[in-house]
Chains A and B, each alone.
Chain A
Amino acid sequence: MGNREKDNLYPGHMACPGCGEVIALKLVLQAVGDKAIAVVLPSCLGIILGPFPRTTFKIPVFHAAFETGASSASGIANALLARGDEETVVVTLAGDGGTTDIGFQSLSGAADRDENIIYCCFDNEAYMNTGIQSSSSTPQYAWTMTTPVGRTQKKKNMVEIMGAHGVPYAASACSCFPDDLRAKIRKAKKLKGTKYIHILSPCPTGWRFPERLTPNIGRLAVETNYFPLYEIRNGREYSITHQPKKIPVKEYLLAQGRFKHLKLEELEIIQREVDARWDELTTKADNR
């Protein structure tokens, strides 16, 4: 992890043991710095924030309504500009449900207005805070409490969707690649306009794996190409930020209880899908 960074999160929080999201949060807040205002949505992040009157956050934070991650941040960004403050960073810390489902409209609106915010989606691939219900970020075939025989639909690809908005910066990241994640936040800080960072955050509770394996699961997600690390500048310029080892995807999937029911043919379908997506991505990155 390199040299010790200044933390903007106090020790002691209410996340589950082995939580990948709290690792990602710590890294994001390190890179954002203390001249920042955060918007937190109802999600596991709301739990990590802590109950009144104490908090784990060292920077000012507003716990907003579920679907207002981007609109709440927009209000702060505009008020700061009205106050003549061009320095303070506004960062939304949202879950995947708050981003891909209920908060999608306000995110699209903020991106259209190119509001000067960094929007971080901490993706643990379901509504984990409310007890593991499927979101549109839940992968195909994954078990959740509301998809007991596996989700039918594919995972919504938010980095591509935000890239298609033409925002100055859209990137994927993972809590298990700390240097890459912090570098992306630092890059986003330097750019004006709407920056979107989608952070895969392994969840031992909801994905059904032993809590000591969090770093391994995240690394497998990336090294199998299941979740490639890349960035899109201005909707067109693609760069891959980590060259994966291309481990077979079943090693990632079968390490988790939520995919334990997968049949061989389903594993093959997923592998083909992963390979095809990687080909598309590398083509875009090569052709720029």
Chain B
Amino acid sequence: MLLTGNHAAAFGARLCRPRVIAAYPITPQSPIYEKLSEWDGKGVLGGRMMRVESEHSAMAACITASLTGVRTFTATASQGLALMHELLHYASGMRVPVVMVNVNRALAAPWSFWSDQTDSLSQRDTGWLQFYVADNQEALDTVIQAFRVAETIFLPAMVVLEAFYISHFMEPVDVPAQEAVDGFLPPFRPAFRLDPSDPAAFCQTTTQEQYAQFRILRHKAMEEGLEVVSEVDKEYQKHFGRGYGLVETYHLDDADIVLVTAGTIGHTARITIDELREVGWKVGMLRIRLFRPFPKEEIIRRLKKAKKIAVVDRNISSGQGGIFCEEVKSALCGHVDGAQVFGFVLGLGGTNVSPSLLRKVFEITKTMKMAPLRPILDIESVEIGK
């Protein structure tokens, strides 16, 4: 089927048979909400559609619907995700396996509608799994995988796709049969729920020690998630013939210079790598698919042999730099001696990261002796060889 990334994600959600969906419109997520509403109108959605008055209420309703024992889904972007922030902590604290699609969009101010990963990366510490996908098929497949993972370790999961580059771009997508998805994803049956025949109090006040224990349990569940994500991905491959791993690699094995990124820039990088390989450059790519839990071991293993690493971030933590870059550096620290990690912040606000721009990334990384402490922001002004 020829589908936009948004519609691919909506199909993924519908195939998982969520019984409560709560949503609120926001560009560029709205086509997901509209598609689900269209199915609801035709009576084929199979769950209840809540048209709530804010993203904050959407997340509140997803949390309690999940606590009442049903599978829940929502989708948002940018300002909507930021508005949910408080409840993202709440969802993971309550250990509800809500699945949410976030369409990466630049955060105001100033207003912008284009792709920028800072919205979801700002939610790094909320206790949600985060998957960054690179195309429409991966968006659909990852939504289905996310439900399975989330309901295994009882943590919420966010599937992140970039505004317009994925959300509004049409690609051929294989939509699995309902029976096939039913065979992969069992019905959601939590051990505990809000149930008058078995009353219990949920989310009471705790002592310092109790709170610390709950946080440690959540962290351990997240760490367990690394293995679960791998297993679920392998099983998905068996069922549907497609798997993605924790990271995607391209010509990595013999690469001296490795470009590390997340999302659609990973696909663009393949073109640049093909061109550079033709003229004899040993270059490769590592695309980080799973951001939380962060696949440290996998990243160390894959980058151990690289002489130089160039991390390209479509996001920025002001005062520090690209967020993936800092995470990669922290993973390598103490495990890969003298790793030269070059940080590039490109594509903010949806500006285009073209194959020729990535070629310059490789050129700068190759010729610059030492990685600068601070991110390279204005790539056009860097003179090669300096």
Q: Which of B37-78 contact A (CB under 8 A)?
A: 47-48, 50-54, 56-57, 60-70, 72
Chain B neighbourhood of A88, CB < 8 A: 196
Whether B195 and A75, one on each chain, are in contact in the complex, defined by CB atoms closer than 8 angstroms, is no
A177 CA / B202 CA spacing, docked (Å)? 31
Partner of A51, one of B47, B50, B198, B205: B205
A106 CA / B57 CA spacing, docked (Å)? 7
- Contact of A72 with B69 at beta-carbon distance under 8 Å, contacts A36-B196, A59-B196, A63-B203 already known: no
Partner of B63, one of A70, A72, A83, A105: A72
Whether A51 and B20, one on each chain, are in contact in the complex, defined by CB atoms closer than 8 angstroms, is no
Whether A82 and B19, one on each chain, are in contact in the complex, defined by CB atoms closer than 8 angstroms, is yes
A45 CA / B49 CA spacing, docked (Å)? 31
Residues 62-91 of chain A, each 1 if its beta carbon lies under 8 Å from chain B, else 0: 111101101111111011111100001000
Chain B neighbourhood of A67, CB < 8 A: 56
Whether A52 and B196, one on each chain, are in contact in the complex, defined by CB atoms closer than 8 angstroms, is no
Partner of B68, one of A53, A68, A83: A83
Partner of A61, one of B62, B69, B70, B201: B201
A71 CA / B196 CA spacing, docked (Å)? 20
Whether B61 and A78, one on each chain, are in contact in the complex, defined by CB atoms closer than 8 angstroms, is yes
| Interface residues of B, count at CB 8 A | 41
| Interface residues of A, count at CB 8 A | 43
Q: Name the residue among B54, B61, B202 with the largest chain A CB count within 10 angstroms.
A: B61
A83 CA / B187 CA spacing, docked (Å)? 13
Chain A neighbourhood of B65, CB < 8 A: 75-76, 78-79, 82
Whether A49 and B56, one on each chain, are in contact in the complex, defined by CB atoms closer than 8 angstroms, is no
Q: Which of B284-312 contact A (CB under 8 A)?
A: none
Whether a CB of chain B sits under 8 angstroms from the CB of A112 is yes
For B18, give the chain A residue with the smallest CB separation: A82
Whether B204 and A71, one on each chain, are in contact in the complex, defined by CB atoms closer than 8 angstroms, is no
Whether B205 and A37, one on each chain, are in contact in the complex, defined by CB atoms closer than 8 angstroms, is no
Chain A neighbourhood of B69, CB < 8 A: 79, 83
For A47, give the chain B residue with the smallest CB separation: B205
Partner of A52, one of B48, B53, B90, B206: B206
Whether B205 and A68, one on each chain, are in contact in the complex, defined by CB atoms closer than 8 angstroms, is no
For B21, give the chain A residue with the smallest CB separation: A78
Q: Which of B73-91 contact A (CB under 8 A)?
A: 86-87, 90
Chain A neighbourhood of B381, CB < 8 A: none
Partner of B57, one of A34, A57, A109: A109
Whether B22 and A75, one on each chain, are in contact in the complex, defined by CB atoms closer than 8 angstroms, is yes
Chain A neighbourhood of B207, CB < 8 A: 51-52
Whether B20 and A78, one on each chain, are in contact in the complex, defined by CB atoms closer than 8 angstroms, is yes
A39 CA / B69 CA spacing, docked (Å)? 16
A114 CA / B63 CA spacing, docked (Å)? 20
Q: Which of A37-55 contact B (CB under 8 A)?
A: 37, 39, 46, 49-53, 55
Which 8 A-B pairs have CB atoms at the shortest separation, nearest pair first?
A109-B53, A75-B61, A75-B64, A79-B68, A71-B57, A71-B60, A68-B60, A79-B65
28 contacts between A and B (CB under 8 A): A34-B199, A35-B196, A37-B68, A46-B205, A49-B204, A50-B201, A51-B206, A52-B205, A55-B204, A59-B196, A62-B67, A62-B202, A63-B203, A63-B204, A65-B90, A67-B56, A70-B57, A74-B52, A74-B61, A75-B60, A75-B68, A79-B64, A79-B70, A82-B20, A88-B196, A108-B53, A112-B53, A113-B50
Q: A74-B61, A109-B53 are in contact. List 16 more A-B contacts (CB 8 A).
A: A37-B68, A51-B207, A52-B205, A57-B201, A62-B67, A68-B57, A72-B61, A74-B60, A75-B20, A75-B22, A75-B67, A78-B22, A83-B69, A105-B54, A106-B54, A109-B54
Residues in chain A within 8 A of chain B (CB atoms): 34-37, 39, 46, 49-53, 55, 57-65, 67-68, 70-76, 78-83, 88, 105-106, 108-109, 112-113
